[in-house]
Amino acid sequence: MRTTASKVVVVGSITADLTAFGRRLPVPGETVIGQSFTLVLGGKGANQALAAARAGARSTMIGCIGDDLFRDIVLSGLRDGGVDTSSVTSVHGPTGVAHIRVDNTSGQNDIVIVPLANSSLTPDLAERKLRAVARRGDVLMLQLEIPLETAFRAAIVGHELGMTVILDPAPAAILPDEIWPCIDVVTPNESEATVLTGIKVCHVESAAEVGRWFLERGVRAALITLGDKGIVQVNEAGVQSRSTPKVDVLDTTAAGDAFAGNLGAGLANGRTWDESVTRGIYAGALAVTAAGASTSLPTADDVDAFIKSQNDDRKDMSCAKTQAR
């Protein structure tokens, strides 16, 4: 029953995403004419909370928003998506913003995030809110768009409370060594992994080396995401390379958030590790087929249908091979 399941608690950023979509990104100093524009809920923290809720988990957001025009946009984005916002704090001043540009041809983006109200999420505030809502067995999800000392404190407190702590170290930042024993799962992409460990990630072997770097420092599992090259998983069972389904890329924004949110939701809802990782991979792949960040996050039904369609395709292919023999 839903009421007995563990929940996902996100301590993280909440932003208004102002996104311009164009045929290509401008080079420095250049102006290009765009094709469309959106203003929606974003921020890696909020996206992951929403992704977990859409994946069927109870999801609670701990973060800070301002008292400006963007406040209602982000708050209703979270609430309408089923996220518990009772631990979101309103502060005086502007809500955080992310200025995003998407290249409609390649699906690639660049982002400038201005934390604004997110800077008010102090270690003490986060700890107080976390202790008020968290229970042993809940999943804590962290990213690095809030003050680093807040993410660090939340990791320590979450670990002490017996939560499963998942860190998506984005955007990349150097972290103190003391954080790693508090982290159960770390999910860097190639460039984040390189910044954190100093190891250049360019193939499965170097990703495996990065994974072992995290495990030696106390992390229980590392999932290094390599975009369309798949994921390298390193845990006590060893190194496993997993492929991602092939899709038509429209916009890569929030693919990592879809992955993390579905992984966290799976673990909170009692799915196995393998199932949870698989659902994260499929959710991430689905997210790149839709435009925007929070707007691209799939539901549990979307993920179920996608997994089924890929399995059906595989069965069809193996039948075709058998018949051809």
Site for ligand RIB, rule CB under 6 A: 15, 17, 42-44, 47, 98, 111, 113, 145, 253-254, 256-257, 293
Specify the residue, 109 or 235, whose C-beta has the smaller distance to ligand RIB. 109
**CB of 111 vs ligand RIB, minimal distance in Å:** 5
Catalytic entry in 124, 251, 257, 301: 257
Specify the residue, 127 or 190, whose C-beta has the smaller distance to ligand RIB. 190
**CB of 215 vs ligand RIB, minimal distance in Å:** 26
In angstroms, rounded to a whole number, what is the distance separating the alpha carbons of residues 149 and 159? 15
**Contact predicate 176/152, CB 8 Å:** yes
Specify the residue, 98 or 134, whose C-beta has the smaller distance to ligand RIB. 98
**Contact predicate 65/116, CB 8 Å:** no
**Contact predicate 232/277, CB 8 Å:** no
In angstroms, rounded to a whole number, what is the distance separating the alpha carbons of residues 104 and 82? 30
In angstroms, rounded to a whole number, what is the distance separating the alpha carbons of residues 242 and 50? 25
Specify the residue, 130 or 144, whose C-beta has the smaller distance to ligand RIB. 144
Tokens found for residue 26: 């401008």
**CB of 72 vs ligand RIB, minimal distance in Å:** 17
Exposed, middle or buried by CB within 10 Å (0-12, 13-18, 19+), for 264?
A: buried
Specify the residue, 11 or 157, whose C-beta has the smaller distance to ligand RIB. 11
Specify the residue, 111 or 215, whose C-beta has the smaller distance to ligand RIB. 111
Helices (H), 198-248: 204-216
In angstroms, rounded to a whole number, what is the distance separating the alpha carbons of residues 170 and 193? 10
**Contact predicate 59/50, CB 8 Å:** yes
**Contact predicate 87/62, CB 8 Å:** yes
124 is catalytic: no
Residue nearest to ligand RIB (CB): 42
Order of all β-strands in the sheet with 34-42: 34-42, 15-22, 96-103, 109-114
In angstroms, rounded to a whole number, what is the distance separating the alpha carbons of residues 220 and 218? 6
**CB of 55 vs ligand RIB, minimal distance in Å:** 16
Give the residue numbers annotated as catalytic, written as ranges.
Answer: 257
